[in-house]
Amino acid sequence: MPKIVDWDERRDQILSATWRVIARDGIEGATIRAIAKEANCSAGILGHYFDDKEDILGSALLLSHRRVGTRMSAASAGLTGLAALRVVMLEALPLDERRDLEAQIEISFWGRALGNPRLRELQHSEFERFCRRLHGHLVDAAALGELADGCDPALATHQLVVLIDGLSAERVLYPDRVTPQRQVDMLDRLLVSFRSVAVTPTGAEPVSR
């Protein structure tokens, strides 16, 4: 009787292997052969699941983002406004080993996307999707009266994204310079700058990792 293979599970295993190769060898080292070896399968098997290397890389990025998004939704369940925004941001920052790996993958894709229109378009669409999530929380915060007069949700969204990108790049290149607590402190200072002085901060407990 032929062995039954869970298509989605095997595909995710290959993508997880892709992340490990990228983290260890860089995106240029993520060759079909290296990914197949890491996934303990043949290069031919990869062809059953993906069209080509770019399909593998793009799928790895998407799966990483979806898993982060799932964590964000779980962490922010039952929260509103700036409290929800804060926990979403904490999931996006490289605060532990898992999120360090996600940051390495993300930074590796930047250089690759510069010379690849297909990956660049994917990066842009993912960026816009994440910005909509952050912007939505800021709009909610404004409706709750949590934002200071003159705080522009669109500008604040951009500031938050720049904070994530900057800290992620520094964490990948200079890990000792950007401790988890320093990241949290920088996030909280930025959130304070958005906040109305009439509102008492909530959900801003220190994070120790």
Confidence (pLDDT) at 89: 98
Confidence (pLDDT) at 198: 58
Confidence (pLDDT) at 164: 97
Structure-block tokens of residue 186: 């920088």
Q: What is the mean pLDDT of each run of 10 residues along the chain (209 residues)?
A: 58 89 84 93 89 88 90 97 98 93 85 83 92 98 96 98 96 92 97 80 47
Residue at token pair 């950007």:
178
DSSP 32: H
Spell out the domains of the chain, with CATH numbers in brackets. 53-194 (1.10.357.10)
146 CB neighbour count, 10 Å cutoff: 24
Confidence (pLDDT) at 182: 96
Residue at token pair 């920052």:
93
Integer CA distances (angstroms), 110 to 10, 55, 98, 166, 202, in order: 27, 16, 19, 13, 35
Confidence (pLDDT) at 197: 74
Confidence (pLDDT) at 3: 42
Confidence (pLDDT) at 7: 60
Q: How many helices (H) and strands (E) does the chain have?
A: 9, 0
Q: Is 139 helix (H, G, I), strand (E, B) or coil?
A: helix
Confidence (pLDDT) at 115: 81
